Structure 1
């Protein structure tokens, strides 16, 4: 079942100050980010920008690291963007957020400190 962008934003706001694991799969490549979420923004696309339709996107702000083959690297600009193409699908289930576009799938999982 698809989740409205408002529900996604509300869920993400509930995760502020919580460590998150963000897993992105795109064309067989897997990226994983661990970040402590500090702020959430929604940026609408700008269809009038040079005849180029820029996607809406969620911007997650916070300190984080990207797992790479060479080790962990600092998250650039302390932000992680998830483009929301017009046909994106989403689901909030089992305590996590799943987003799918025609290019990639994302899984956002809070890491609860025991």
Structure 2
């Protein structure tokens, strides 16, 4: 496993049983996710039906919701996938990670406003 991926995975595993706030900016779209992280999984190379989540990825398992625009909905299948192609971390600290992939820019932080 690449050291950058391991850094991200280690941070996420340290947040197990915590509430996370994830912001993902892709093109001009901003998604905001609140997730009660139960488990972190590593998925090796994979081919999806829609092609959107092809390749290696981290799968965050837990209950949560996603807000796109003004609409908030439950996460499908109680999971959130972060494709890892082109992963670069610009900040990794106890309280959060800022990173970029080939597709999007992410900000992950402990959700102090939504602790359970």
Q: Is TM (by shorter chain) over 0.5?
A: yes
Residues 4/68 of structure 1: CA separation in 2 closer, same or farther (3 Å cut) = closer
Tell me which residue corresponds to 1:68.
68
1: CA distance, partners of 2:98 / 2:42: 17
TM-score (norm 2): 0.80
1:100 matched residue in structure 2: 100
Q: CA deviation at 1:97?
A: 1.2
Note the residue ranges of structure 2 that are not aligned, 5 or more in a row: none
Deviation string 1:33-69 (CA, Å, 9 cap, x unpaired) is 001000000111158xxxx9x4210100000011134
SS of structure 1 residue aligned to 2:16: coil
Larger Rg: 1
RMSD over aligned Cα atoms: 2.2
Q: Distance in 2 between matches of 1:57 and 1:21?
A: 18
Indicate the structure with greater helix content: 2
Number of residue pairs the alignment of both structures matches: 106
Offset of residue 10 of structure 1: 1.4
TM-score by length of 1: 0.81
Q: Does 1:20 align with 2:20?
A: yes
